Amino acid sequence: MSDKTLKFTLNGEPMEIAVSPSDMLVDVLRDRLELIGTKKGCGKGECGACTVIMDGEAVNSCLVPAMKAMGATVETIEGIGSPEKFHPVQETFMDLGAIQCGFCTPGMIMSSKALLDKTTSPTSKEIKKVLAGNICRCTGYVKIEEAVLAAAEKMREKQ
């Protein structure tokens, strides 16, 4: 087992870290880099709690070998907004009750952001299709969908 040097861009900053070819991206993020916002709900790509955005696409980081991030741009929940300036989708999730236990929330927000980065006029149908890979057991998805639509509206207004 030989360590490789993984170089990638993480939340806008250059990152370099030794990884083993067997490492999964989710474990590098959570255990090595201590970015625990990305959650592990199943470890098998079946729940979306581990969703991050890699080169602009939402992916299950539990199924991405860390090495696949070589030279890539990776965004996690830690990088998309903060109290100084929340991402619109964080604002609407907070304001519209789209958060209950909070465990699915980071993954759900990342999938939503990936969609909103591509279009600020998503239809309900598109939102449902994109978020179908993020399981939530608390909300019934109702206020989550409302929050994504509201975030889209905010983003259209800004444009």
Partner 1 sequence: MKDYNVIGHSVRRLDAVEKATGTAGFTSDMKLPGMLYGKVLRSPHAHARILSIDTSEAENLPGVKAVATYKNTPRELFNTSATMTFTVPPLKPVLDQYIFDNVVRYVGDEVAAVAAASEKIAEAALKLIKVEYELLPAVFDPLEAMTPEAPVIHESHKKNIPGGEVIQIPYGDAEKGFAESDLVIEKSFKVPVQKQAQMETQAAVAQVGLDGKITVWSTTQTPHPTKMILAKIFSVPESKVRVLNPPYIGGGFGVRIGLSAKAEPIAVALSMLSKRPVKVVYTRKEDFIASDTRHAGYVTVKLGAKKDGAFHGFYVKAILNGGAYCSFSCETPGVLGCMALAVYRIPNQLYYGHSVYTNTTPSGAMRGFGNPQAMYPIESVVDMMAEQLGMDPLELRLKNIMQVGDPWALPYKCSSTGLAECIEKGARSIGWEKRGKLNQPGAKKLRGIGVGVGTHCSNAWPWCGDYSNAYITVQQDGSIHLATGVPDMGTGTSTSLPQLAAEVMGVRLDQVSITFADTQSTPFDIGSHASRTLYAAGTAVVAATRDARRQVLEYAGDLLKVPPERLELQNSVIYIAGQAVGDDCAGSGVCQVGESERKSISLKELAYTAHLRNKQFIGIGRIVPENAPPWHAHFAEVEVDTELCQVRVIKIAAVHDVGKAINPMIVEGQIEGGVLMGIGYALSEEIKYDEKGKQLQDSFHKYMLATADDAPEIDIMIVESNDPTGPFGAKGVGETGLVPTAAAIANAVYDATGIRFTEIPLNEERVYQALKEISK
Partner 2 sequence: MLQDYLFPETIDEAISFLKSSTGQARIIAGGTDLLLDIPDGKVKTGSLIDITRIPELRKITMENGVICIGAAVTHNQVANSELIQEKAAALAHAASCVGSYQIRNSGTVIGNVCNAQPAADTAVALVALGAMAEIAADGGKEYVAVEKMYAGVGKSTIDSASQLVTMVRFPAAQKNQGTAFVRLEQRKALALPMLNVAAWVSLEDDRFQWARISMAPVGPGPVRALSAEQILKGAEVKADIIEKAAQAALEQANPRNSALRGSREYRTSVLPVLVRRALEQAVANARCKCN
- What is the binding site for partner 1 (CB under 8 A)? 30, 34-44, 46-47, 49, 76-78, 81-83, 86, 90, 93-97, 99-106, 109, 127-129, 131-145
Asked if residue 133 binds partner 2 (CB under 8 A), the reply is: yes
Nearer to partner 2, 96 or 108 (CB): 108
- Tally the residues of the chain: 159
The distance in angstroms from the start CA to the end CA of the chain is: 49
H or E segment to which residue 112 belongs: helix 105-118
Q: Helix (H, G, I), strand (E, B), or coil: what is residue 136?
A: coil
* Residue 112 binding: pick among partner 2, partner 1, none (C-beta 5-8 Å cut-off by kind): none
- The interface partner of residue 139, options being partner 1, partner 2, none and the CB cut-off 5 to 8 Å by kind, is partner 1
Give the H/E segment covering residue 125: helix 124-131
Interaction residues for partner 2, span 55-114 (CB under 8 A): 57-60, 63-65, 67-68, 70, 111
Distance CA 65, CA 26 (A): 9
According to the binding rule CB under 8 A, does residue 1 interact with partner 2?
yes
